[in-house]
Structure 1
């Protein structure tokens, strides 16, 4: 029977929505211009048309989505029946199709539905898990194995066969290039921890460390920035192995080797900068290298364009603000958006800048980010979002290999970036502000700087605003990035997002703030850039945060 125009139109609407399996409340949504942004926008007439479609007359993916959407908009027994049919449709044919990312997202959604509804729906979910488990232990496809592995780890499945999964992933790693092999060995290590085989997991992590060191050695002379970035990541990974476990794996001097490599790479970079132009140094390679492994070159190019604008020029903003400040004849009282008095001109210096000049700098900075958000970030994000549906796992793949993201914070930052990419910049900024503070603290501590205060024998963590006053900050992050963090997250008279969010000072009106959008964009840019700490103090870092703790 031929589909009606209304049926074809509504099936087309369903096909436009992006599936977000990690969002139980709102799993289908699109940012495209359409009256139907999500299932909630379907009218009763729309639902009646969809109910009249025979699921057997559409292809497998359309059938799954149709049944899922009808379940979302149904109640009682009708909801349970639709969910059971949807989960069964996912289970049918898993052993015969090639598993791509979208197929895994459907499995992810179905497993979560089965977990919540149990009963007949739960039994269908067990079918999916059994087929995926068999597939995982038999596949020779790296992408497929990682997708299923991550899915099972996320849902805490296949614990009984964790050792077998780890062994299979290690075997696959032997036939892959360094980047893919590291991803497989990282997954194998995670399964080793699940199996409570810490020795095997540490072996995998040690292999990853040595792989980064070897990669850096190959490219150090020609691409020293890439080498330093790889070594910084190697050091982050190394610190997940207890010091007592390093010697037996040939890593007793690994931290010293990595630090020496970073110093050598930085020296080579300075030598190259005296003989070649900035254009000849491939600064875009982190985005292209990392994102091509996730979604292909097209998404890599889109993200590269989104993150292309540079950091705010500190010296230029300061010079312009100094000139404007000299034209002021009267002192100024600074008022926050909630009517609090936050300062008076001429009363203090802020980050070694007179407060009247700093206030002008904040005005210039706010105008800059407002123009950048409206003119570049939002339009580019909207265009990219319409073509590429990125999930938390995509961002997690990026944060896991980022040298600037502290160990153990990869998923938290990835989750926040995914919130922003979905359009929830308010939530993204709230989650990212404390992560920026931790990022600054960790790299300062790794440089040997003091990041704690002591009172009556009790240790207290120093807040971000005080951390950013440390003399090591500029040499660690550079003048422009240090200014960005100060201006956006902790400096007085500016957005001061860390303080505003921490103390509940942001009202609902802040949801649409350009500063929230910019904070999300800036952290993404940080995560994606080259980073290497040029001032590692290995003894101080190990004393502060013992490896493996």
Structure 2
């Protein structure tokens, strides 16, 4: 029964079992008592589940490296306050003792653990199954960790609760999966397995009839964890793949047909089939099925590209940029014009681009959503998780920045320079020989690429200069004493590719952090133009001739060749 004193814990908590509600109540009264202040803090923490089915405390919020309250923030004075808390509220009891055991030892610690577990078990009996799931998993986590203190008696109690609920009948497939999982991790008996299999198979039949493919996949995955026969496990894996295919077919037959979504479902089917061990593949015709799915994915990818919607934004005037760029190269000698052209646009910094990306994402839902990119022919080029949203946004900002630089600065300046100066290949050969940047013996190749770009033959320029960029980076890193090769398992000394070279810690010292960031976004970045990959694998298409990235990559090489990047100290050495 709640205390009649209006300043007591129970007068504030009442009979609430909702921790966010308790947090709100205690926070509103925090000024009235230090006890309410610490209770607001400990009830603000959330119970979350990790990948190992364990329930852990997480802060209510995390912002830019900081967070709301966690037990790591607690003070000695607050521990003393928690020890003095008197309450009949079972949720407050569970949380207080679940915090206190971390800061006590010996018999006192075990007492706090047992009180917390018992309170969680009581909570589970009075709330709905969704909340009960978290409480039971936390009770199981503590019971398992301290099982020696009661010889596993509390683990058995958690199992008994799960089994009793399963026998009583789950109210929904979600509750069924929750109970099966809880039973599985709380030392089930062979009889428990039989009951679980019967219940899941019944739910599967209902899901099949309702064409609830996602639910049926979840049921199969749980069933696999109970299955002891390896052949049967892999048969179930193949059934999961079939369900992805069925869902793809359903999406293609739906009024809101989506080739992109259907292709992503088929890709999921391929990934599932790939997880089947080799010894089962022939029996399950895995290779044939993957080949068939790959063919369908390619067809749907092309359809998805054709069906994409174009979004337009307000026009951005580049007239002022273009006029300034033209003035910069007008009326000067050929050599000076090339030098000014190479500096007509500026490089950004990774820190500035990251800061802008974070600002953009702070006001959108993109931080919470994964994204997928397609190539021109509909293949999935890349997938980014929500955690990689900042890097993805940085890649988009880099593309926008390159477009502005090319259309507003580089191209206008190049047109004026070409109109005023007729440069030959020999001029670029001389430029390459005069540059301390160009590796010895490669001057003709660099000159050919730069001359092609000068004449707007960008497809040739890209195919010549992209490998030269890798050679240039390797040459200067090797000159700085950096190992640029690695031994494979056969003892062969292979050259390290450009992406790995740019990731070398010494790369920023040699080239400068800003230039390394530019090289990543243009040549080797996962979320950038990735020119090195496209050239190496023959993925460049005719549109490169008139592309922004083609001209920008040529200009960047011109800048590197004409504008020294090394530090004065390094040069003097």
TM-score by length of 2: 0.49
Equivalent residues in 2 for 1:44-123 (5 A)? 44-56=76-88, 58=89, 60-100=90-130, 102-121=131-150, 122-123=152-153
5+ residue gaps in structure 2? 10-31, 313-364, 373-385, 414-427, 439-445, 450-463, 475-486, 509-516, 528-536, 539-573
Match for 1:261 among 296, 300, 321? 296
Structure 2 CA distance for partners of 1:306 and 1:314, relative to 1, 3 Å: closer
Match for 1:178 among 208, 213, 237? 213
Match for 1:231 among 251, 263, 266? 266
Equivalent-residue separation in structure 2 for 1:5 and 1:45 (angstroms)? 13
SS in 1 for 2:128: coil
Q: State the match for 2:379 in structure 1.
A: none
Tell me if the contact between 2:370 and 2:389 (Cα under 8 Å) persists in the aligned partners.
Answer: no
Match for 2:40 among 9, 12, 29? 12
Equivalent-residue separation in structure 1 for 2:142 and 2:48 (angstroms)? 13
Equivalent-residue separation in structure 1 for 2:296 and 2:67 (angstroms)? 56
Q: State the match for 1:354 in structure 2.
A: 469
Q: State the match for 1:139 in structure 2.
A: 170
Tell me if the contact between 2:91 and 2:123 (Cα under 8 Å) persists in the aligned partners.
Answer: no
Match for 1:129 among 159, 162, 184? 159
Q: State the match for 1:209 in structure 2.
A: 241
Equivalent-residue separation in structure 2 for 1:38 and 1:7 (angstroms)? 17
Structure 2 CA distance for partners of 1:7 and 1:204, relative to 1, 3 Å: same
Q: Max radius of gyration: which structure?
A: 2
Equivalent-residue separation in structure 1 for 2:249 and 2:226 (angstroms)? 29
SS in 2 for 1:92: helix
Per-residue deviation, 1:36? 6.7
SS in 2 for 1:54: coil
Report how many aligned residue pairs link the two structures: 354
Tell me if the contact between 2:251 and 2:261 (Cα under 8 Å) persists in the aligned partners.
Answer: yes
Structure 2 CA distance for partners of 1:26 and 1:68, relative to 1, 3 Å: same
Equivalent-residue separation in structure 2 for 1:142 and 1:350 (angstroms)? 58
Equivalent-residue separation in structure 2 for 1:249 and 1:136 (angstroms)? 34
Equivalent residues in 2 for 1:105-504 (5 A)? 105-121=134-150, 122-136=152-166, 138-151=169-182, 155=185, 157-158=187-188, 160=190, 161-176=192-207, 177-192=212-227, 196-220=228-252, 222-242=257-277, 245=280, 253-273=288-308, 276-277=309-310, 287=369, 309=393, 311-312=395-396, 313=398, 317=402, 331=436, 352=467, 354=469, 455=490, 466=497, 486=499, 490-492=500-502, 496=503
SS in 1 for 2:124: coil
Structure showing greater relative contact order (alpha-carbon pairs closer than 8 Å, 6 or more residues apart): 1
Equivalent-residue separation in structure 1 for 2:280 and 2:108 (angstroms)? 56
Q: Compute the RMSD of aligned alpha carbons.
A: 5.3
